Chain A
Amino acid sequence: MQRILDPARIEAFAATSVPRIRLPDPASLFARRGQRLRTLAEGHSLGDYLRLMAAVADGQQVALDALRAALVAEQFAQQLGRQIELAHEHRMPLLQAAGFPRQERWRAILTELCTSIAGAPGFPAGVRSVCERIIASPGAGIETQADLLIAARTSGVDAQAAPFVMAALQVYWAAMTSSLQMSDVTQIDVPGVCPTCGTLPVSSIVRSDKRSQGYRYLHCGLCATEWHLVRITCSQCLTTEGIVYHSIEGGSAAVRAESCGQCHTYRKILYQEKDPEVEPVADDLASLALDLLMTEEGLHRGSGNPLLWQNTET
């Protein structure tokens, strides 16, 4: 007897056979990033900057541990109830970053981060003065900067302070995101933005663990959610035509740039199978040489790295 599956059932199979969403692990998210940055800094031409960002990541992990504990005590995830329903119903990000009613405590995290970095030895004098400037800044100015960073604007951004402001925002969103259940986050209609917070991905990564082996995920630069996107697809315009992979000859096989022949942009793709320690934010930042070469090829980055900002007005 012939059995013909109707399209809805095939779709249902597809939805469950691939883990579509990976939520960040709050116990190790920033600690791993810090460790990776420190490893990459060895003998690196930008080693000092990577070590500064490693120190930021260490501070982020401490802040994340504390905020996570607070969110659990407040039953944050349980209180989302109706919002989860609405997000599912309208296929919208659950914790949409733009326009989100941020609680002031994210600024407390920023102050904490800046205090610890300002007190750390071994960085240029500029680092300390920026951290002190941020701590002394009025809340309203910091909130304006946060809005600009979340909107990924290229003008009006205080590029000096941006990595620290973004680092605090990352802690705030990662704490909320890691309190969610996998089923709270639903696929949205725009596959190029984060289904949890609506932010653009920093890079993509082909995972090698048992459940996700060979699947490619886009990694959110804000909340660290990872969501599945079929490989050999442009993460900007979703075409499958003219995709080319670029890497530095003799360099790491675990980091490549996936460029699109239609929209002429690229985003990096990391391969955990080639190097199990690759980390979407750290390895993207440390492969700045690849960005320089890609720009020379006339290809532009789809979205920036949260720990390195450029102001086009300067």
Chain B
Amino acid sequence: MTDLTRRQFLKITGATLAGSSLALLGFSASVAIAEVREFKLSRTTETRNTCPYCAVACGIVMYSLGDGSKNAKASIIHIEGDPDHPVNRGTLCPKGAGLLDFVHSPSRLLRPEYRAPGSDKWQPISWDDALGRIAKLMKEDRDANFVAKTPTGLTVNRWLTTAMLAASASSNEVGYLTHKVMRSFGVLAFDNQARV
């Protein structure tokens, strides 16, 4: 077995090559060593992720230029199915295969936007304003429509006038939290859908 206490990781330089099989057998490495001056290394990284489209949750590999160092801006150049992922074994559906365009799409939604009732225009809105508005409308609707008891006196504590459409590529943990939050409101209709 390899002697781990003795084994060193190899450095390969012009100097070490002078003591290598190559030089000792009478070959010259000088041209090879000199030409390396002309070469430049490029770096890419590969990152595993989960396709965001549907609940099948296929594994993807995202290829980016740059190694994530501070002064280099990373850019995703290619996305493909992860061959090692047990769900999709390297395959992707047409939607997943188009993920690169999704990432770089000029019309990609980058911040919350709001369209007023009756308007045909979307306007930017801050996260605070968006969440505040959603909470306010939910509370109004819940206060007006919450059903604590049926006419026959049966306790039901349900809220049927609002529904929730949750994410599809969620983990078990996110699914659990979604369930806890929405059921606590009394919402019956919510769906972690697989059909976008």
Interface residues of A (CB under 8 A from B): 10, 13-14, 17-18, 45-46, 48-49, 52, 96, 98, 123-127, 130, 151-155, 159-160, 162-163, 193, 198-200, 213-215, 230-232, 240, 243-249, 251, 256, 265, 288-289, 291-297, 300-304, 307-314
Contacts and interface: CB of A to CB of B under 8 A. Distances in A.
Given A288-B12, A292-B12, A314-B18, 7 more contacts: A45-B35, A127-B25, A160-B24, A193-B2, A231-B46, A245-B43, A247-B41
Interface in B76-130: 82-84, 86, 89-90
Contact of A160 (B17, B18, B25): B25
Contacts of B36: 289, 292-293
Contact of B43 (A230, A244, A311): A244
Contacts of B3: 151-153
B163 to A, nearest CB: 24
Contact of A232 (B16, B22, B35, B61): B61
B26 interface: yes
B29 to A, nearest CB: 7
Given A231-B61, A243-B46, A292-B33, A162 B39 contact: no
10 contacts: A45-B31, A48-B27, A130-B25, A153-B6, A214-B83, A288-B32, A292-B13, A301-B11, A310-B16, A314-B19
Given A213-B90, A248-B41, A302-B9, A125 B26 contact: yes
A297 B26 CA distance: 28
B84 A215 contact: yes
B38 to A, nearest CB: 10
Nearest to A256: B44
A293 B20 contact: no
Contact of B42 (A48, A193, A246): A246
Top 8 A-B pairs, shortest CB-CB distance? A214-B83, A124-B26, A126-B26, A314-B19, A300-B9, A301-B10, A45-B32, A160-B24
Given A96-B1, A248-B40, A249-B41, A295 B11 contact: yes
